[in-house]
Amino acid sequence: MSRRRWLLIGAAALLLIVGFLTNRWFVNPQTDEPGTADAIFVLGGGGDRVQYAVDLVRDGVAEQVVFASSFVEDQGVWAARPCNTRGTPRVPDTATFECFEPDPGTTRGEARLLRDLAEEHGWESIVVVVSTDQVTRARRLIERCWDGEIRIVDVEHHDPWWRRAVYEWGAGLKATFLRSC
């Protein structure tokens, strides 16, 4: 067989592997049933995470919801709307919403924030809300930081899957090689 043919076969095999892994990790990743937990932790990002967290509270998953959110200085508001006095969704009166800005403002920073809050409050189980493309990386980072029970649930991101997959390949490689919490 010619060298050119071997290169084409190798490129096709690589493309198939990347496609399979992209589907497995970023398009149709393994998620969990929410069950019940001590808290719901909502990572920042796209998709309707706020509404899903509110639905989880209404379903009795947990009454404590934490949003990892950024504070928008020039507007004087949090990016996650329940953190502000206006726009708070209707939920049972027993539910509490708290907002914290992770440092750094990355998934790694959010994992550290989750760990710190879990230790502070004595949480043993947490439902984590992320976008579908972020499931695999979030799970990896949180499991490095905290050894409690996590259940990852997802919402669809508003951006096209292929755009998110390109981002997640880079972020996932970084998370793989930077092994610290």
pLDDT in tens, 95-115: 888 888 888 888 999 999 999
Higher-confidence residue of 148 and 174: namely 148
* Full domain range(s) for residue 8: 3-177
User: Cβ neighbours of residue 94 under 8 Å, at least 6 residues apart?
Assistant: 63
Under DSSP, the state recorded for 88 is: P
Q: What tokens were used for 64? A: 């404590």
User: Does the pLDDT at position 12 exceed 90?
Assistant: no
User: Does the pLDDT at position 86 exceed 60?
Assistant: no
Q: How far apart are CA 140 and CA 176, in angstroms?
A: 8
Identify how many contiguous H helices and E strands the chain contains and give both numbers: 5, 7
| Residue 115 exposure: Cα atoms within 13 Å on the Cβ side | 17
Average pLDDT, the chain: 84
Number of Cβ atoms within 10 Å of the Cβ of 119: 11
Q: Which residue intervals of the chain are DSSP H helices?
A: 3-22, 49-58, 107-121, 135-145, 161-177
Helix (H, G, I), strand (E, B) or coil at 96: strand
Domains in the chain: how many in total? Answer: 1
The torsion defined by the Cα of 154, 159, 161 and 166, in degrees rounded to 10, comes to -110
Q: What is the pTM of this model?
A: 0.82
Rg for the chain (alpha carbons), in Å? 19
Helix (H, G, I), strand (E, B) or coil at 82: helix
Q: How far apart are CA 160 and CA 50, in angstroms?
A: 20
In which band, very low, low, confident or very high, does the pLDDT at 170 lie, cut at 50, 70 and 90? confident
Helix, strand, coil % over all residues of the chain, rounded to 5: 45, 20, 35
In which band, very low, low, confident or very high, does the pLDDT at 46 lie, cut at 50, 70 and 90? confident
Question: How much of the chain, in percent, has pLDDT values that exceed 70?
Answer: 87
User: Does the pLDDT at position 37 exceed 90?
Assistant: yes
Q: Which of 22-26, 76-80, 91-95, 159-163 has the lowest mean pLDDT?
A: 76-80
CATH number at residue 116: 3.40.50
Q: Which amino acid appears at position 137 of this protein? A: R
